[in-house]
Amino acid sequence: MEFNNKKLEKTSKFINYLIAIVLCGFLIALSGKLMDDVDHWKERPQLESFENLNLITKEKGLISKIDAEIDLKSEQQNSIQNTLNIANNKYSNAKKSFDNWLAARKTIGSPKEDDAILERANKLDEYYKTQQESKKKLADLKNDIYVLGKDQDIITARMDTARDGAYELQTKAIQKYDLKVFLIRLMFILPILLIGIFFIVKLRKHKYWPLFLGFVLFSFYAFFVGLIPYLPSYGGYIRYSVGIILSVLFGIYALNKIKEFIERKKRELKAPTTERAKKVQTDTAEKALDDHMCPSCGKDFIVKKWDKPSEKKKQHISYGVVTNFCRFCGLELFKPCGKCGEENFVHLPFCASCGDPVTNKVEI
């Protein structure tokens, strides 16, 4: 099989990242299972635990009793209403008959009918009296039902007040419970995060780095995705405060690292070119050549130049010139091979034309 270094490098990177992602996925699944189970180690505070059950039972009994009385009076109200409807019909029919009869009597004018008038009038009075009694009973029942409804509202208000107190106690208990669960989860996740940070700082060059990388990815996921959402909010103040603290700490760390890198780079550039050339590694040199950059200061070593325009061509023509030395830091970049004279990048080990070792670093 043909050996291809570039292909092998890409394949190795792919396999390394695949190993890291697969390991990270299994670790995330395991930690997710553990984090979910923590919430079931102890039952969450329920509202019933904080209610005054004796008071609630007593008040519910009173409400049931009032409901029964309201139902009874409603049935009585319906019965009396039916009686009133019958009395209204009888009175209306009798009044109509009496009026017709009275009009006929006036036409005939017979005095023998006086006793009949009194009898009919008495019947109308009885119907009218029945109407009034039924109306009074309906009014009394309506008032009784209204009073019972008011009593029921008072009892319901007492129950609501007691339940509101229970809700407040439950809310405080849930906050304590959530904080306790969060601290338990933090007890598991924080050491994992610290170990992940240690791996980044100390083991990036280790031969088993893909495995460590999988753990590092898992540690950051477990902390920022698996843990932070469980952080008690308390109206958002805690989460925002934690976010501000983490941002400040990370910002200070990043700025210090950048400043440290810049200072270190400045010190390196002050060193003689011979010393800096000895510190250039082969993989760094290969990437620098591909990107046409100086491996020491990182600046482009191609210089742009322009041809003067001729009479026919009015535009400048630009082209690049490769320099043997970096014009920014003075590091030697190219020199002819001592055997064949071919120009070579001095920081790579062998001549690209004849394969003879580039002895630049030895000669320095």
Q: Rounded to an integer, what distance in angstroms lies between the CA atom of residue 75 and that of residue 50?
A: 39
The residue from 177, 202, 232 where one domain ends is 232
Tell me the pLDDT tens digit for each residue of 166-191: 888 888 888 888 888 888 888 888 88
Domain match, 58 and 182 both: yes
- Could you tell me if 142 and 112 are in contact, meaning their C-beta atoms sit under 8 angstroms apart? no
Domain-embedded: residue 321: yes
Domain match, 219 and 290 both: no
Encoded tokens for 273: 């070119």
Residues 224-250, mean pLDDT to the nearest whole number: 75
Domain-embedded: residue 80: yes
- Judging by DSSP bridges, how do beta strands 343-345 and 302-307 pair with one another? unpaired
Task: Indicate the pTM of the whole model.
Answer: 0.49
Within 13 Å of residue 276, how many CA atoms lie on the same side as its CB? Answer: 21
Q: According to the model, what pLDDT value does residue 2 have?
A: 43
SS3 354: coil
* Helix locations, the chain, DSSP H: 5-38, 53-108, 114-202, 209-224, 237-270, 273-278, 282-290, 360-363
Q: Which residues pair with 319 in a beta bridge?
A: 305
109 pLDDT band, cuts 50/70/90, is: low
Q: Rounded to an integer, what distance in angstroms lies between the CA atom of residue 329 and that of residue 271?
A: 10
Domain match, 204 and 123 both: yes
Q: According to the model, what pLDDT value does residue 72 have?
A: 86
Q: According to the model, what pLDDT value does residue 112 have?
A: 53
Q: Rounded to an integer, what distance in angstroms lies between the CA atom of residue 238 and that of residue 230?
A: 11
Domain match, 207 and 283 both: no
Q: Rounded to an integer, what distance in angstroms lies between the CA atom of residue 222 and that of residue 170?
A: 29
Q: Rounded to an integer, what distance in angstroms lies between the CA atom of residue 174 and that of residue 178?
A: 6
Domain-embedded: residue 241: no
| Tokens 């292909």 -> residue | 7
Domain match, 22 and 94 both: yes
- Could you tell me if 353 and 346 are in contact, meaning their C-beta atoms sit under 8 angstroms apart? no
Phi/psi region, residue 137 (left: phi>0; alpha: psi -120 to 50; beta: rest), is: alpha
How far does Cα 245 stand from its chain's mean position?
20
Domain-embedded: residue 61: yes
Domain of residue 196, residue span: 14-232
Domain-embedded: residue 172: yes
The residue from 176, 209, 232 where one domain ends is 232
Q: According to the model, what pLDDT value does residue 97 have?
A: 66
Phi/psi region, residue 341 (left: phi>0; alpha: psi -120 to 50; beta: rest), is: left
SS (H, E, C) 36-50: HHHCCCCCCCCHHHC
Q: According to the model, what pLDDT value does residue 363 have?
A: 40
Domain match, 162 and 291 both: no
Q: According to the model, what pLDDT value does residue 165 have?
A: 84
Rg (CA), the chain: 50
Confidence check: pLDDT of 18 > 70: yes
The residue from 202, 232, 262 where one domain ends is 232
Domain match, 219 and 336 both: no
Domain match, 99 and 191 both: yes
Buried-state track 341-363, b at ≥16 Cβ within 10 A, e below 16: eeebbbbbeebeeeeeebebeee
Domain-embedded: residue 254: no
Tell me the pLDDT tens digit for each residue of 116-156: 666 666 776 777 777 778 788 888 888 888 888 888 888 88
Q: According to the model, what pLDDT value does residue 30 have?
A: 81
Within 13 Å of residue 273, how many CA atoms lie on the same side as its CB? Answer: 15
Domain-embedded: residue 4: no
> Average pLDDT, whole number, for the chain?
77
Q: Rounded to an integer, what distance in angstroms lies between the CA atom of residue 218 and that of residue 23?
A: 8
How far does Cα 181 stand from its chain's mean position?
18
Domain match, 108 and 38 both: yes
Domain-embedded: residue 22: yes
Confidence check: pLDDT of 62 > 70: yes
Q: Rounded to an integer, what distance in angstroms lies between the CA atom of residue 307 and that of residue 217?
A: 53
Tell me the pLDDT tens digit for each residue of 186-208: 888 888 888 988 888 888 888 88
Q: Give the total number of structural domains in the chain.
A: 2
Domain match, 283 and 206 both: no
Q: According to the model, what pLDDT value does residue 362 have?
A: 38
> What is the DSSP annotation of 203-267?
-TTSTTHHHHHHHHHHHHHHHHTTTGGGS--TTTHHHHHHHHHHHHHHHHHHHHHHHHHHHHHHH
Buried-state track 272-283, b at ≥16 Cβ within 10 A, e below 16: ebeebbeebeee
Domain match, 290 and 209 both: no
Query: What are the phi and psi torsion angles at 300 (to 5°)?
Result: -70, 130
Domain match, 216 and 327 both: no
Confidence check: pLDDT of 308 > 60: no
